Each structure stands twice: as structure tokens, then as C-alpha cells.
Amino acid sequence: MRRFAVLLTVAALAVVAPAGASAMAPYEVAGLQVALYRFGHYKGPIDGIAGPMTKRAIVAFQRERGLAADAKAGKQTRVALGRYGRPLFGVRTLKRGKVGFDVSVLQFLLAKNGLPPNRLNSNFGPATEHLVRRFQRKAGLPVDGVVGKATRKALVAAKKGKQPKKASKATKRHVVRPGETLTAIADRNGTTVRALASRNKLDPSNMLLIGTKLVVPKGGSVAGRTSVVASINRWAAHYGVSADLARALAWQESGFQPHVRSSVDAVGVMQVIPETRDFVEVFVIGLRIERTTDGNIRVGVAYLDHLLRQFKGDVRLAVGAYYQGPAAVRKHGLYPETRRFVANVEALRGRV
């Protein structure tokens, strides 16, 4: 990918956004993401974005349950999700003791408005009631802790809570935004995921809810090799790509160096060229990715996953396409230089 420009033909652009989930309101998509997480099929942030991760999780769940794998969160799919798949937000009045999809949505909306629960548990307990009362008080509504029509409308229409402005000398504060991960936040602030998780009493493997207020410990330096490898491993697991393949490709491209830039403007650990980044953001991931080391790795690994699917799991052709460009591989096969590149990547597997 460093030396050969990627030509985006009409055929290459024939990648469509996920159907079904994308037809839901963002707050409903968040409820769906929570349900899919509980069944082990969604590992991304609870952000209400109906992107490829959500689509894949729906399809995986549908296949597991013997349903039509259409990536649509229809009635049958939501019934199969049990109490976490229904009822939809707005069907019933919510108060203490309720459990279900609509409570997940409620907790998401509270977080979006600056009142995140400590746990996204789909359970309307005392803590959630307390947050509802705080929101009602802030919105000028009757403070009864019950989510009826007026409170629902205010939750959906209200603007996102403001990010705290004050910061101590040793720390600063950050409110989690859609698409962010602990790795990206740590990378951008020169700290580590472990330090960030420890300071905020978070489990890095658990769901990260948008609107969560984080205290960001002061970092010492930009991410080193350890955090680069951790980022590669995380996104490889996220996209279902072999971690040793992703690491080998990254090492061959940059030696795990975040600040490498080639003569054709390929940048970062994964040596992503601007055209490839644009393609991946629009047609593979479905959202803009931060210009960080973690973001560069995510784009590169997502693109590798895309190529593996395009070439039906043929690692040699997929890695060759990463370097040479998929259109050129289909038309000409692997160039001699590409074959050497692929051989080097294969030799590095299990060694970096």
C-alpha cells in the first residue's frame, strides 16, 4: 500500500451501509448494541452508530439462532434477544423495577445528556431513578423519577451535556464521544489504557458508553511499542483478523513506528494512504476515525479484513492487495516486488 495507488472503481465502491439497524433512530441502535453485547456478538462502543460492527453482530446473532441473516433488527430478531430486545423505547412508561431494551435506551440517553450510569445494566434501579430525577430537574419537568411522554421527549431532544472545563495539573477530564475507544483516548493523551482504566475504575474489556466522564491521568510520552502492539491485537480481535498476521503486516510496513511517512504519503504504523483511509472510513467502517496511532491501526486492520473477505480468505492475495492494490492484483496478479513483500510478511508471522 506504500507504493501503489489504490484505484477506486465503480465495482470497488459497491459496498453498502448496513440495512435494518441503520433505519432505527440512533438511541434505538444503542439499545440494540447493548442487547448484542450481552449475547457476545458486539464488542464496540455503545454509540448508537449503525456501522459495520453492528451489522456483523446482528448477522452473527441471527445465524446462531437459525434466523434469516438479513442484518435487520426485525421483530423475530428482537424476540430472540429476549428481554434485552424489547419493548421499544416509548411503548411503555418506565419506572423503577423495569428491565429491557427500552431501559438500555434510557440509560444511553441519560449518558448522552451528561448523566451516565455507573453500569449499563438495562435495569431501572435506584441509581437510574436518581439520574432520571436529576435530568427532570435540569429540564424543568416534574421530578417524579418516572419516564413518561414528557420526559422521553425531553431526553431525545435535549442537547448533550457539556464537557467539564476544569482540569488539575496532573489530570484532565474527557467526555466519551461516539466512535471513541479507551485505546484512542489514551493514545491521544499520552497515557496508557491500564492507567486510564485504573483511574476511572473501568474494565477495559467491558462496554464503553458515550457520555461517560473520564479523568485522564497525565501521560509521560506518546505510545511506544507496547501500546502499538496492544492496539493491533485489540483491533485484530475486533475485526476477526489473525493478530499475528496484522502484527507481521504492521512490522513489515513500518516497524511499529507511528510517525513513518513514505514518498507516496502513506503514514503511520499501517502505512495508510489518504485514498485508502477515505475508502475505509466511508465504505468499511462507516464513520470518520481520529488521526491517532490507534486510529491509523484501526483503519489498516479494517482494510486488511475487507481484503481478506474480498479475496475469500486467501491471505497471500489479501496481503498482496494491501501492498499493490486490489484492482491491480485482480488484473495482473502479484508483481515480483509484491511477492517479496508477501513472503516477508509470512516469515514475520509469530515472530513480532
What's the confidence (pLDDT) of residue 192?
Answer: 66
Overall average pLDDT of the 20-35 stretch: 80
CA 8 to chain centre: 25
* For residue 157, pLDDT beyond 80: yes
**Of 42-56, 65-79, 93-107, 115-129, minimum mean pLDDT range:** 42-56
Cell output for 346: 509470512
Tens digit of each residue's pLDDT (9 = 90 or more) over 246-282: 999 999 888 888 887 877 788 999 999 998 999 999 8
Cell output for 100: 429491557
**What is the C-alpha separation between 5 and 321, in angstroms, rounded?**
11
Closest alpha carbon to 48 in 30, 60, 28:
30
Closest alpha carbon to 172 in 193, 189, 197:
189
**What is the C-alpha separation between 44 and 146, in angstroms, rounded?**
30
Overall average pLDDT of the 4-21 stretch: 37
Count of all residues that appear for the chain in the document: 352
Q: Are 251 and 210 in contact (CB under 8 A)?
A: no
* For residue 99, pLDDT beyond 80: yes
What's the confidence (pLDDT) of residue 22?
Answer: 53
**Between residues 332 and 167, the one the model is more confident about:** 332
What's the confidence (pLDDT) of residue 14?
Answer: 32
- Domains, the chain, in order of start with CATH, read 21-157 (1.10.101.10), 171-217 (3.10.350.10), 225-348 (1.10.530.10)
Closest alpha carbon to 260 in 287, 210, 297, 221:
297
Q: Are 276 and 211 in contact (CB under 8 A)?
A: no
**What is the C-alpha separation between 126 and 117, in angstroms, rounded?**
11
Mean pLDDT score across all residues of the chain: 83
Is the model's pTM score more than 0.75? no
Q: Are 42 and 91 in contact (CB under 8 A)?
A: no
Tens digit of each residue's pLDDT (9 = 90 or more) over 182-194: 777 876 776 767 6
Overall average pLDDT of the 162-173 stretch: 52
What's the confidence (pLDDT) of residue 159?
Answer: 57
Overall average pLDDT of the 285-305 stretch: 93
E strands of the chain, at which residues? 171-175, 213-217
CA 77 to chain centre: 22
Residue 197: phi, psi to the nearest 5?
-65, -40
